[in-house]
Amino acid sequence: MMRNIRWLIAALAAFALVAAACGSDDAETASAGGDADCETVDEVTLQLQWVAQSQFAGYYAAVDEGFYEGFCLDVEIIEGGVDIVPQQQLGSGAVDYAIAWVPKALVSREEGIDIVNVAQVFQRSGTLQVSFADAGITGPADLAGKKVGSWGFGNEFELLAGSRTSGVEPGDDYEIVQQNFDMLALINGEIDAAQAMIYNEYAQVLETENEETGELYQPEDLNIIDWNDVGTAMLQDAIWADSPRLADDEAYQDQTTRFVAASLQGWAWCRDNAQGCVDVVLNNGTTLGSSHQAWQLNEVNGLIWPSPGGAGVMDTDLWDQTVEVATSEEVLSAAPDDGSFTTEYAEAAIELLAERDVDVNGESWERVEVELLPGGE
């Protein structure tokens, strides 16, 4: 017995050692290579909202194509999970920067998490309300009398405010139904209109076989309400930084400018090298469907480009609109203070990129045709 217990303990200890060794991989791979002469390389962590996908392509491209390295940064991208709230990770000091939607970050800010928007990467909202063409829902007024799906949890405000602009009162004039993060309820006919991101769930419908025709659903089969057109769109993916650190840490200030610059360079690269960029994403998320990710990148590019005021620079009209919707829908109790965003770092980053001949406006960018395959494969 004794011998066996000893053996058991030894085996467990061996397990523990091996597991610990597996846990602490990521050896130091920082190198001051690339086109930069770096005296020091700063280690930086970036928290995403979700796992690797084209929504975050620019950051992955900046790692894999060496843009961060070119700005003397060694960036580790930390993916999101079900329970990870990026702005809280940032506020707790677990990461250096976080990607978050503006209204959600502002709510956290109101709750006392002191963060600041340093680059508004997505200049448009990607949220749609999607319905089948035969339901005839082409604008918010048509929602009256319908069953309308929404994800809730702070994703419903563009819809609520948008329908009110047409005098259609949520709850009274149409029914809001809690919707899962997929399009099943729409396809099964349980709801008339479903919430969808143009770069994700909308494509999922187009990757599904229409049982009547035996072909995939086509864009002609669907109607969309785009909240950018209605005027209740809220700003989404932005880079957030830690306010107190930014206020008095010069190294962090300098690092932030370089981080924003390299990130925007990554996005510019993904604009000009769509296929290469999709490959970068696929290499970082090995179970993702490649046609779906190609679609996603194309649409995400459409949310960023063109950026007339320069990529990452806040469009103050859209900021005001976001705040207006958020306060009128009582998401925020008051408009946020001036410290909630700054264009200083994005503007400095654009200057750095101009030295490197990076086009930060993308005026000539055009959407390409992406063929979706069944299941997004």
Partner 1 sequence: MRRALSVLGGIGTLIVLWEGYKAVGGLTGDQWPATPWGLPVPTDDLTMPHVIDIMRTLGRPVQRGRDEILAVFLFKAALSTFWKAALGFALGTVIGWSLAVLMLRSRLVERGLLPWINISQTVPLIALAPIVVTWGRTTFLSDSLSVALIATYLTFFPVAVNALRGLQSPRPADLELLRSYAATEREILMKLRLPASRPYLFPALKLAATLSVVGAIVGEISAGVRGGLGRAILEFASRYSTAPARLYAGVVGAALLGLAVFGLVSLVERSAGRGAGRSLAGEGT
Binding residues for partner 1, rule: CB under 8 A, are 1-5, 7-8, 11-13, 15-16, 18-20, 22-26, 50-51, 78-85, 88-89, 92-95, 181-184, 187, 204, 207-208, 282, 285-291, 373-377
| CA–CA dist 326, 232 (Å, integer) | 10
For the bound state, the minimum distance from the C-beta of residue 375 to partner 1, rounded and expressed in Å, comes to 4
Stretch (H or E) spanning 270: helix 250-272
Question: Where do the DSSP E strands lie in 198-318?
Answer: 222-226, 238-242
CB nearer partner 1, residue 205 or residue 332: 205
What one-letter code names the amino acid at 347? E
* Cβ neighbours, 10 Å, residue 309: 18
User: Taking a C-beta distance cutoff of 8 angstroms, is the pair 372, 203 a contact?
Assistant: yes
343: Cα separation from own chain's centroid: 19
Q: Which residues of 177-197 are buried (b: 16+ CB within 10 A; e: fewer)?
A: bebeeebebbbeeebbbbbbb
Which residues lie below 8 Å from residue 90, measured CB to CB, with a gap of 6+? 47, 96, 97, 98, 100, 113, 115, 240, 241, 242
User: Taking a C-beta distance cutoff of 8 angstroms, is the pair 98, 47 a contact?
Assistant: yes
| CA–CA dist 233, 226 (Å, integer) | 8
Q: Which residues pair with 198 in a beta bridge?
A: none
Q: Which residues of 69-93 are buried (b: 16+ CB within 10 A; e: fewer)?
A: bbbbbbbebebbeeebbbbbbbbee
